[in-house]
Each structure stands twice: as structure tokens, then as C-alpha cells.
Amino acid sequence: MAGAYTGPLEQVNDCCWRIPKSYKPGMRVDGLIYADDELIESIRSDQAPEQVANVAFLPGIQVASLAMPDIHWGYGFCIGGVCATDPDEGGVISPGGVGYDINCGVRLMRTELGFADVQPRLRPLVEELFRQIPCGVGGEGRYRYTLKELRQLMAEGPSWLIERGCAVASDIDHTEAHGRLDGAEPECVSVRALERGRAQCGTLGSGNHFLEVQVVDEVFDEDDAAVMGLRAGQVCVMIHSGSRGLGYQVCDDALRELRGAPAKYGIALPDRQLVCAPVESPEGRQYLGAMRAAANYAWCNRQLLMWQAREVFQTIFGSTWQELRMSLVYDVAHNIAKFEEHQVDRQKKRVWVHRKGATRAFPPGHAEVPDMYRRIGQPVIIPGDMGRASWVLAGQDGSMQQTFGTACHGAGRMMSRTAAVKHAQGRRIDEELAARGVIARARSWKGLAEEQPDAYKDVNKVVEVVHKAGLAKKVARMRPIGVIKG
């Protein structure tokens, strides 16, 4: 939808703005957008705040319809949208609150290499990563599964890959939810989705997905960074991908199957893209079974991408990945719905938290944070654009008090892909990135043009809001030095 948002935005504090539920008859709760004075001006430039207001219509929604500072227009929910629904109060599940790329997410792998070790071999490293790791629209990889194997993979997540030599126990321990959502029902996934996913596990895909070689540029919390095994000057690898064609098809199937559900259950919606069904309905359970299966597939996809990256580093540096200490810091989902316990109005409730372009940010002491991170809080990995920076944060208590344990997921687009391509006409984005010290390889000029740094907000400003709001605190910033994209 084109055009700027013209509805109300009331400033709550330096980091938060309110859309009052009086704005539209039918809103059950307020909308809350996390942003500072500068970011809120860019947020007003499209209709994403209107989507925040629309989500407030969903039955069973708790506290508020929320949005992170990387908010921008999306399908149904805005990107950066968060809401929790209570099934005991008629709460619904909405595919638009998860998105087409189910469990799109990001993982960070550290190494013992420093910039001085990698810089002389950076170009051959990037070229070999580009040769060996499949990327691009419809890209297929070397890992191919029968339908039976695919269903097993979706039921078990990346632990299924251990006995196949593509994962180790510590990889699983450092993945959100151990890479497996309980209740996955692969039998709910259509044959069409399965066929699309058979040869795409272990592939990057296109769009904003990437594999980046990065250097830890600055450490903001020495203690927390040490717990995560991070230090200034260290080389890391960041991987951003999701459930590929399988997840897209699961969402597409669900949107079609749920088309009549709102009328069937008497749910009035301001936007048909918010199509939903009660969590406990047959339609709701069908979607949840398939969504969880696709989420587990996505964790396997990122695991296989990391495994291939380890193999490339072994080839280029002549040491095993164990000798290079290429261990997973953490993997987080940012397009997912999960059943979690939260404090709502001084009462503990189990609610369905939809995070669409938003990252879990559980605080110190939370039972779902891995043992080694429990003292500092869950690692929160925030990719930026390929010319500036990415971040590692640690979840804080404020996330549980304000946002159902959630922080931002990235920089957030400022230009549509069409506008970005137009803006790049006559330019060589790869040469511009090279001038910044970044070697970039992509399948097409258009791919780089769509993802140029100018297309995104400054991730440093987005992270500053999350930090000041007490949702997650700064630990370390990484700058890109090599990137491959579809």
C-alpha cells in the first residue's frame, strides 16, 4: 500500500509511540511502536503503522499490538510486528504474523582467526564460498532427501543431522529451541511444499538472505562478549536464510485454506491479509502443525549452510574447522509463532507470540536461555546492511516487561526493491562496496542493487533504540568484509 500514515501517534517516552485503540472502532488494544524521534519520521512514510493498528483487531490479543524500530510494510502484519494471543480468550493464529519465509532467521559462528589472518586470503575465501554454497532464486544444493527423510528432518530438526555427519551436539545446544518446535506435523505439509523443499535444504536463496564474513569491530560489554567467545578483531561468519520454497508453500497453502475461517468463526478483520483462525480450531491446528515443521526445516537449512561454510574455511586455511574453533555462538528465528509463558496483568499466561521480523530476546535467568548464556541473557543477533554493520546484543528484563521477550531483527528497509533498483541505475554496487572494504559476490547486478546499503535504515540507530528501551543491550558490533548473496 502506497502513501504515508496519517493516523495518530502519541509519544509515550524517548523510545515508544502509541496508536490509541480509540483510533479505529474494533481495536481491542493500543498499538505501540518502538522508535526515537528520527526513526519515527521514516516510519510515518508508509502504511506500516496502519498495519500495527489493524493487528489490534485480532481476537485474544494481549496488552498491545507491538512494532520494533525496524518496522516497514509487510503482508498483513508489518515487518517488525509482534503480538501475543491467548487461546483461552479465543486467541487466533495468523499466518500473516509469521510471514511467507517461516523461521527466516540468522546464526553467528565465531572463529579463532583474526582479520590479519583472513585479509590476505579474503578474495579466494569469498570466491570459494560463492562457488560451494548454492544461492539464488530456486537454487538447489547437494543435500537431497526422499519424502520420508524430509518428514523425519521436519519432525526432529537439526539433531537429525548429527548421525549424518552434518552437525554436532554443541550446534544444537546453541540454537533457539534446540532447533526443534514440538508439535511439528510433517503430514500437514502439502506434497507441493515437500517437493519444493527436497533439494533446497542447505541453500541461501535470494532477496535479503546472505552469508557474510565479518570482523568484530568494537566490543561494548567485555564480560558478555567473553561469555560469547567474542573479541575485537576476530573474524566471524553470519548466515541469514529461512525455509526456502517449502516454507513459502506452507504459508501460501494456509492462506488459501484459511480464507473462509474468519466468516466461519465470526471474526471481523479490517484487512483480509490478516486471515486467521482460533488456535484450537481444526484450521488453526493444521496451520500450526505445518508451520512448526517448516520452522524445523529452516533450522536444518541454516545448519547445513554453516556446515558448508566450515568446509570452505578448511579448504582455504588448511586446518579443520575444529582447529579453527568455528563454533556456533547462537541461532535465532525472526519469523515464527511460539507458545510461551508470559506475565500479563500480574498473571502468568501461556500465549501465542507472533514474531514477524522480530527476534526473541529472553533475559538473564530465563529457563530457555542456554546454560552458558543464562547469566548474561540470550544472544540477540541483528544483521544490518552489507556495507555498514551487524550487531550482537544480550536480552534484558525489559523485553519481558514490555514486548513479550522480543527485540528488533535487523535494520529495516527504507526503499522497496523496485525503488532500490531504480536508485542503483548507472552504478556498480560491488565497486562501491569494495571501496568500503567489502568483497561482494551475487548472482546478478539486480540482487546487489536491491540490497544496497542505501535501501536500509542505519542499523546502529535501530539498535540504539532497543538498547535504550531496555529490551536488549549492546555487546559487540561487526563490520562486513565479504558477502555472498543470491
Q: What is the pLDDT of residues 38-83, one digit of tens each?
A: 999 999 999 999 999 999 999 999 999 999 999 999 999 999 999 9
For residue 136, the model assigns a pLDDT of: 86
For residue 3, the model assigns a pLDDT of: 87
For residue 94, the model assigns a pLDDT of: 98
Provide φ and ψ at 473, rounded to 5°.
Answer: -110, 150
For residue 139, the model assigns a pLDDT of: 80
% pLDDT > 70, the chain: 100
For residue 2, the model assigns a pLDDT of: 62
Whether residue 1 has pLDDT greater than 60 = no
- Rounded to whole angstroms, how far apart are CA atoms 10 and 129? 48
For residue 420, the model assigns a pLDDT of: 94
Per-residue pLDDT, averaged over 94-114, amounts to: 98
Mean pLDDT (the chain, rounded): 97
The string of pLDDT tens digits covering residues 141-180 is 999 999 999 999 999 999 999 999 999 999 999 999 999 9
Is 178 considered catalytic here?
no
Confidence of residue 138 (pLDDT cuts 50, 70, 90): confident
Whether residue 339 has pLDDT greater than 80 = yes
Whether residue 387 has pLDDT greater than 90 = yes
For residue 28, the model assigns a pLDDT of: 98
Whether residue 24 has pLDDT greater than 70 = yes
Confidence of residue 225 (pLDDT cuts 50, 70, 90): very high
The string of pLDDT tens digits covering residues 347-374 is 999 999 999 999 999 999 999 999 999 9
CB 486 within 8 A of CB 245: no
Per-residue pLDDT, averaged over 119-137, amounts to: 96
Whether residue 433 has pLDDT greater than 90 = yes
pTM: 0.97
Given the residues 240, 334, 409, 467, select the one marked as catalytic. 409
CATH fold of 10-93+102-485 reads: tRNA-splicing ligase RtcB (3.90.1860)
The string of pLDDT tens digits covering residues 260-285 is 999 999 999 999 999 999 999 999 99
Lowest mean pLDDT among 111-125, 134-148, 214-228, 344-358: 134-148
The β-bridge relationship of strands 472-485 and 439-442 is parallel
Confidence of residue 118 (pLDDT cuts 50, 70, 90): very high
- Rounded to whole angstroms, how far apart are CA atoms 106 and 242? 8
Q: Which residue has the cell 532464486?
A: 137
